Structure 1
Amino acid sequence: MAALAHRLDEDDHLTDADFRRISALISRQVGIKLPPTKRLMVEGRLRRRLRALDLPGFSDYADYLFRQDGLESEITFLINAVTTNKTDFFREPEHFELMHKQLVADLIERRQERMPLLKVWSAASSTGAEAYTIAMVLADMAAQRRDFRFAVLGTDISTDVLETGRRAIYPAELVMPVPPGMQSRYLMHARRPGARPDIRIVPELRRLVRFDQLNLMDTNYPYDRDVDIIFLRNVLIYFEKADQAAVISRLVGHLRPGGYLLLGHSESMVGTSITMRQVAPAVFQKT
């Protein structure tokens, strides 16, 4: 009987109408496009949610979501299930090299003040790998230069990935791109590693990184308007063009004059509409 139940579960699918309704809902709520090619992915991720809710099939889930007023209590879980959270430490390393060699020095020179606080925002932080990569690079630079302080903000729509960022515990294989010197300075290994060894970011670095939930589709962002660098990488590709432009406009409003916006290399065409000075591939400076 258990085997039959498993087979029936795998044979159950979202109807075309229900998939379209869920896609439209996600697009309105968080701006993410879910074309028909994503249907199997959505079904695969929602099967676990059906089991958690003890629902027999997708039609029952759609009924709960749209016709039984379950949306308010379910929307966070639905967003967590369908959002893509691909991330790596030192992903697209050219941006971190540029930050080290050029951007930070330029920002400090423009400030002309003693020990300025540089504010860096990872605006689609996922599980925190990007935010902690930024913090590692800046911590090394701050120790060498001794002429600036820094703070890193990571934001994302998914509560699940934000909790991972706050815990700062990652599989050991995920941190392999981190240079050996930084691994020794900023990563802690479990004293008694289990079958799958994990590492944790050192507390000295965790204290400099904060994580908040933010929906980029919100019309206002409750953050400072003197941010020095904003990383907005590999998220706009999931948005419609009008939403891309709106998100960029809102984020640029939070940059100080001379601040930098960094997009993902796959989003280079998005940058063609930005009225900022381009200083490197997918890197723009507010004038």
Structure 2
Amino acid sequence: MRGGASAETVLTPVGPLPLSEREFSLFQTLVEREAGIHLGPSKQALLVGRLSRRVRALGLTSFGAYYRFVTSRGNEAERVRMIDCLCTNETHFFREPEHFDFLRQRVFPEWTRRAAQGLMARRVRVWSAGCSTGEEPYSLAMELLSHFPPGSGWEVEVLATDLSTWALERARQGLWPLEKAASIPRPLLRAFMLKGVRSQEGWMQAGPELREVLRFARVNLSDERGWPQGPFELVFCRNVLIYFGAQARAQALSALLRRLLPTGYLFLGHAESLTGTAESARCVAPNVYCARASAPAGASPT
């Protein structure tokens, strides 16, 4: 047929599929159980927008059919893909700069002093919990290695975890568009990032020193059984738990604090706090917490 579809062509709709209130309720329960993510009523359009393509890719015609498929035995891989679709992976290098100022001005001098006094081993373990596409853990690795470089006697390890398999793969690659370099301090950019040439022109890649200290793993923050073993000197869990329900958030925060050394620090996002947790913790800087008993001199209670 001139100017139209041939007889063999099958046209399928590309718009969002309808989602009933009952179906949305089922997905709310499923997603919170699987990932700790609470989808409030305002998130119904988000779920439809992010899952409609997946439903059609499987040859299904409704969200009800997709729910039955994704909850069937043996379809664990599809549940992982579903959660991948619903995860928000917004991030950038050196996000919330005041946290990195806190490391430079307070934490690193404290470590240096304590190590010199024999009160601390020259070994640092850091956990970026909810690392997304990697900008946070690579920022931490750059900052740590600039202060405790290889050959200085310090051992640095940065564990980067996320629920999204897609985001983790991007993080492992350590490859970003060159415009992302704008938020990296110039000395650190020169020291640790490689500029792409020829087929990689317009891109930058993490250098070998960064890759040497980074480890990646898929971790579900709503299920402590699969968490890495501590203790850690630093735990960064920023702008992740805002998506959790109140109970799941409180449980995760308590568990994160248990992964810290007594002198360690927990960093949360600007919209998060420890409200609702039973742990004895103290705020020592905006959205930075440590065990109350180990709060450093000069820290103000909140």
TM-score (norm 1): 0.89
CA shift, 1:143, in A, is 3.3
In the TM superposition, 1:33-182 aligns within 5 A as 33-66=38-71, 68-69=72-73, 71-111=75-115, 112=118, 116-143=122-149, 146=152, 148-182=154-188
Partners of 1:142 and 1:230 in 2: CA distance = 18
Instruction: Tell me if structure 2 keeps the 8 A contact 1:158–1:213.
Output: yes
Secondary structure of the residue aligned to 1:150 is strand
CA shift, 1:41, in A, is 1.8
Instruction: Tell me if structure 2 keeps the 8 A contact 1:108–1:148.
Output: no
Secondary structure of the residue aligned to 2:197 is coil
CA shift, 1:40, in A, is 1.9
Change (3 A) 1:75 1:161: same
CA shift, 1:47, in A, is 2.7
**Bigger shift: residues 212-221 or 201-210:** 212-221
**Bigger shift: residues 111-120 or 28-37:** 111-120
Partners of 1:16 and 1:228 in 2: CA distance = 45
What CA deviation, in whole Å up to 9, does each residue of 1:28-66 have, x standing for no partner? 111111112122222222133234323344343234224
CA shift, 1:71, in A, is 4.2
Which structure shows the bigger proportion of residues in helix conformation? 1
Change (3 A) 1:26 1:43: same
Partners of 2:239 and 2:276 in 1: CA distance = 12
Point out where structure 1 has 5 or more consecutive residues left out of the alignment.
none
1:264 aligned partner: 269
What CA deviation, in whole Å up to 9, does each residue of 1:177-227 have, x standing for no partner? 011221111111221156x82211112211111111111111335433321
1:225 aligned partner: 230
CA shift, 1:105, in A, is 2.2
Partners of 1:109 and 1:157 in 2: CA distance = 36
Secondary structure of the residue aligned to 1:32 is coil
Partners of 1:88 and 1:203 in 2: CA distance = 20
1:184 aligned partner: 190
State which structure, 1 or 2, has the greater radius of gyration over its C-alpha atoms. Answer: 2
Change (3 A) 1:265 1:11: closer
Change (3 A) 1:248 1:161: same
Instruction: Tell me if structure 2 keeps the 8 A contact 1:9–1:57.
Output: no
CA shift, 1:125, in A, is 0.8
TM-score (norm 2): 0.85
Secondary structure of the residue aligned to 1:143 is coil
Change (3 A) 1:70 1:223: closer
Q: Which amino acid aligns with 2:169?
A: E
Q: Which amino acid aligns with 1:132?
A: Y
Partners of 1:168 and 1:26 in 2: CA distance = 29
2:297 aligned partner: none
Identity rate of aligned residues, in percent?
Answer: 35
Q: Over aligned residues, Cα RMSD in angstroms? A: 2.6
Point out where structure 2 has 5 or more consecutive residues left out of the alignment.
295-302
Secondary structure of the residue aligned to 1:220 is helix
Change (3 A) 1:223 1:73: closer
Change (3 A) 1:145 1:270: farther
Give the length in aligned residue pairs: 284
CA shift, 1:228, in A, is 0.3
2:241 aligned partner: 236
What CA deviation, in whole Å up to 9, does each residue of 1:226-259 have, x standing for no partner? 2101011111111122222211111111111111
Instruction: Tell me if structure 2 keeps the 8 A contact 1:121–1:152.
Output: yes
